[in-house]
């Protein structure tokens, strides 16, 4: 085994690999080879660093120099300058946008300053395809401790004491879930890892599986030991080929080292894991639907009780835990439940990973202690709103979460506080919106998603959400009335009250929360037939601003109707009676002389 003086850690997550990070790796290796320093420097493909906005990321270890938006053609310079001559490549350092200073270390970046990485601890640090790197980072130590030093009861008690709650959205105490499954006697039990990450925009589970698959396997084995299960399933979306690939490698390597399989670590404990692929149905994140899908049945939920802990997959007691939840388990055993409780809030200890997206400067994956405020996440970590626009709302909890306005930006994030303001934790999607977003349109967008993803089993979700969407559509078309707004609330509340599973019970949330916080915007749509954000096509008009129009005729040339009148070098005018609102002129004008009103 070689002792390298330097490691070049290159992000191999889905985001960075789509931006050619693997080609960068090849170029780096080639250059290192060329300079004859292959025995000194190693290039490591790691999991996601989280700072996806600035990918591909390359981190030099142990120097802690953090290069951003690195291209394959930068490889030679990095090797020649940094690796050989020890001089940083300044132009690839991150520039702090407000102070315009270059920051060299990962720890210096505002994006990372407020983060505490527990679930993501090894992402961007180890090579997920090499179990030795995982072992060097204390991998499987927690399993060894549980199997060799602790009874099942002590293991469960530790998780209960840690206060860890389900990170998939529900927030149910993980230790209690283990205890209930443990209490149901059966010769066969199952532990399922829910990796059916369905929220559009959320990718923390994918990143953990891509960057640190062993942490999940280790946690599943610990859970198996605690509840008395020898079989584990990972239910993962088939759309996650890289995560599947790395899990397959991890499972094989763990089996080779006897960390999965028969008689693990000579303790007599048997445990193995199988992958099951989901076909990309959002509802299969619901645990009963997930279980039906694993069994080969239609992925739709069934009434609880019986709970999976009583009667789950193949009618056996089953514990279903989400990826991020499981990734928190090993550190809890290595550092103790008390340590875990020092992070986060009293009712929600630990951290939560959020997928920060939308109109925010630093899009990416962030892990913050519970209790961090939304303002800190959006402004300090996220770097504020893009293009200095005004913040309008942040949507948390995925497609069935709610929208939160600036009045509530200082609320500390935890399960209860988000619920209290009409939103929810969900799996950790966080989408930031600015003044250019129409909230009616946003509600419609989310409802379109949940309507499409409804399994169709129960009446309120199947027909009710369709009707809600039809009303929203009517409003955005300019045909809405004030009665429609009242109807949205009435129907939305009934859907929440009567639906069978979590999907239907939360689907109206985006509608209800935007109605609550942005009622005036809805009113403008129905009363004045105007979309204040100028998003709803039917309600806006394109007009030419005389003061900016130079009479270049470009707009008149692209207009398909045509409805733009005017002579060369003279101000043009749009005939509103003919305009079909296609937006072609708006996209063509080089002088910003066309406005949407």
Partner 1 sequence: MAMVNLTINNQKVSVEEGRTILDAANKLKIKIPTLCHLDLENIKFVNQSASCRVCVVEVEGRRNLAPSCSTPVSEGMVVTTNSIRCIKARRTMVELLLSNHPKDCLICQKSLDCELQALAAELNIREIKFDGERARHEIDISSQSIVRNMDKCILCRRCETMCNEVQTVHVLSPVNRGFDTFIAPSLNLPMNESTCTFCGQCVAVCPTAALTEVNNISKVWDALNDKTKYVVVQTAPAVRAALGEEFGAEPGTSVTGKMVAGLRKLGFDNVFDTDFAADLTIMEEATEFIHRLQHGGKLPILTSCCPGWVKFFEHQFSDMLDIPSTSKSPHEMFGVIAKTYYANKIGIDPQDMYVVSVMPCLAKKYEAARPELAHDDMQDVDTVITTRELAKMLKEANIDLMSLEDEDFDNPLGESTGASVIFGTTGGVIEAALRTAYEWLTEETLEKVEFHELRGFDGIKEAVIKINDLDVKIAVAHGLGNARRLLEQIRDGKATYHAIEIMACPGGCIGGGGQPYHHGNMAYLQKRMECIYKEDEGKTIRKSHENPYIIKLYEEFLGEPYGEKAHKLLHTHYVKRVKM
* 588 lies in the site for partner 1, by CB under 8 A: no
**What's the CA gap between 132 and 465, in Å, rounded?**
50
CB of 18 to partner 1, least distance (A): 29
CB of 457 to partner 1, least distance (A): 5
Neighbouring C-beta atoms of residue 548, cutoff 10 Å: 13
CB of 292 to partner 1, least distance (A): 12
**What's the CA gap between 116 and 372, in Å, rounded?**
11
* 459 lies in the site for partner 1, by CB under 8 A: yes
Token digits for 582?
């296609």
SS3 597: coil
60 phi and psi, to 5 degrees? -95, 125
Options 379, 487, 537, 566; binder of partner 1; rule CB under 8 A: 487
CB of 500 to partner 1, least distance (A): 6
CB of 501 to partner 1, least distance (A): 10
CB 32 within 8 A of CB 79: yes
Q: For residues 206 and 451, which CB has a smaller minimum distance to partner 1 in the complex?
A: 451
CB 191 within 8 A of CB 232: yes
Of the candidates 331, 316, 157, which has an alpha carbon nearest to the alpha carbon of residue 229?
A: 316
CB of 462 to partner 1, least distance (A): 6
**What's the CA gap between 190 and 234, in Å, rounded?**
11
The residue range among 46-54, 348-356, 465-473, 578-586 that interacts with partner 1, by the rule CB under 8 A, is 465-473
Taken in order 458, 463, 468, 469, is the CA torsion positive or negative? positive
The residue range among 68-76, 91-99, 140-148, 495-503 that interacts with partner 1, by the rule CB under 8 A, is 495-503
Q: For residues 386 and 467, which CB has a smaller minimum distance to partner 1 in the complex?
A: 467
Q: Which residues inside 288-317 make contact with partner 1, applying CB under 8 A?
A: 298, 300, 302-303, 305
DSSP states along 223-249: HHHHHT--EEEEEEETT-HHHHHHHHH
> How do beta strands 58-61 and 6-11 pair?
antiparallel
Neighbouring C-beta atoms of residue 74, cutoff 10 Å: 20
CB of 420 to partner 1, least distance (A): 14
* 267 lies in the site for partner 1, by CB under 8 A: no
CB of 397 to partner 1, least distance (A): 16
* 496 lies in the site for partner 1, by CB under 8 A: yes
Token digits for 495?
């859907």
* 491 lies in the site for partner 1, by CB under 8 A: yes
Q: Residues, the chain, total?
A: 597
Options 64, 416, 452, 520; binder of partner 1; rule CB under 8 A: 452
* 460 lies in the site for partner 1, by CB under 8 A: yes
Q: Which residues inside 169-188 make contact with partner 1, applying CB under 8 A?
A: none
143 phi and psi, to 5 degrees? -60, -45
Q: Which residues bind partner 1 (CB under 8 A)?
A: 281, 283, 298, 300, 302-303, 305, 451-460, 462-464, 466-467, 470-471, 487, 491, 494, 496-500, 505
């Amino acid at each position: 085994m070689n002792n390298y003086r330097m490691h070049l850690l290159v992000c191999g997550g889905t985001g960075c690999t789509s931006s050619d990070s693997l080609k960068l790796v090849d170029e780096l290796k080639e250059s290192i080879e060329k300079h004859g320093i292959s025995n000194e420097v190693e290039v490591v493909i790691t999991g996601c660093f989280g700072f996806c906005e600035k990918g591909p990321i390359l981190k030099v270890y142990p120097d802690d120099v953090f290069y951003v938006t690195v291209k394959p053609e930068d490889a030679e310079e990095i090797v020649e300058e940094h690796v050989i001559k020890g001089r940083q490549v300044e132009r690839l350092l991150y520039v702090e946008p407000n102070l315009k200073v270059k920051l060299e270390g990962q720890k210096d970046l505002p994006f990372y300053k407020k983060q505490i990485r527990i679930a993501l601890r090894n992402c961007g640090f180890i090579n997920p395809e090499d179990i030795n790197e995982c072992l060097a980072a204390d991998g499987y130590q927690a399993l060894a401790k549980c199997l060799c030093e602790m009874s099942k009861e002590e293991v469960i008690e530790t998780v209960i004491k840690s206060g860890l709650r389900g990170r998939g959205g529900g927030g149910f105490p993980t230790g209690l879930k283990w205890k209930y499954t443990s209490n149901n006697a059966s010769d066969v039990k199952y532990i399922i890892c829910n990796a059916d990450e369905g929220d559009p925009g959320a990718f923390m589970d994918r990143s953990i599986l891509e960057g640190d698959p062993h942490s999940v396997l280790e946690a599943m084995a610990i859970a198996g030991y605690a509840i008395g299960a020898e079989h584990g399933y990972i239910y993962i979306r088939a759309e996650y080929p890289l995560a599947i690939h790395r899990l397959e490698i991890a499972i094989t390597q763990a089996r080779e080292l006897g960390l999965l399989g028969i008689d693990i670590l000579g303790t007599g404990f048997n445990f193995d894991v199988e992958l099951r692929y989901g076909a990309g149905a959002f509802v299969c994140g619901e645990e009963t639907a997930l279980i039906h899908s694993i069994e080969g049945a239609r992925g739709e939920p069934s009434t609880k009780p019986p709970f999976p802990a009583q009667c789950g997959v193949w009618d056996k007691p089953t514990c279903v835990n989400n990826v991020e939840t499981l990734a928190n388990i090993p550190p809890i055993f290595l550092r103790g439940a008390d340590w875990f409780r020092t992070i986060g809030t009293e009712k929600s200890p630990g951290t939560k990973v959020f997928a920060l997206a939308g109109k925010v400067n630093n899009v990416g994956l962030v892990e913050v202690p519970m209790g961090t405020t939304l303002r800190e996440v959006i402004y300090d970590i996220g770097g504020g709103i893009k293009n200095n626009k005004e913040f309008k709302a942040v949507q948390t909890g995925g497609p069935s979460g709610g929208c939160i306005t600036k009045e509530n930006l200082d609320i500390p994030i935890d399960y209860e506080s988000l619920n209290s303001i009409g939103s929810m934790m969900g799996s950790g999607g966080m989408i930031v919106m600015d003044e250019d977003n129409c909230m009616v349109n946003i509600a419609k967008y989310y409802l379109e998603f949940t309507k499409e993803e409804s399994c169709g089993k129960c009446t309120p979700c199947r027909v009710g959400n369709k009707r809600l969407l039809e009303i929203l559509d009517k409003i955005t078309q300019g045909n809405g009335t004030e009665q429609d707004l009242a109807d949205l609330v009435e129907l939305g509340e009934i859907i929440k009250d009567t639906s069978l599973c979590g999907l239907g019970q939360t689907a109206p949330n985006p509608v209800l929360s935007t109605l609550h916080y942005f009622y005036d915007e809805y009113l403008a749509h129905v009363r004045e037939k105007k979309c204040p954000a100028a998003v709803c096509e039917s309600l806006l008009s394109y007009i030419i601003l005389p003061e900016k129009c130079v009479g270049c005729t470009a707009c008149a040339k692209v207009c398909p109707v045509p409805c733009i009148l005017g002579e060369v070098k003279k101000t043009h005018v749009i005939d509103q009676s003919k305009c079909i609102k296609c937006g072609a002129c708006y996209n063509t004008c080089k002088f910003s002389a066309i406005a949407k009103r």
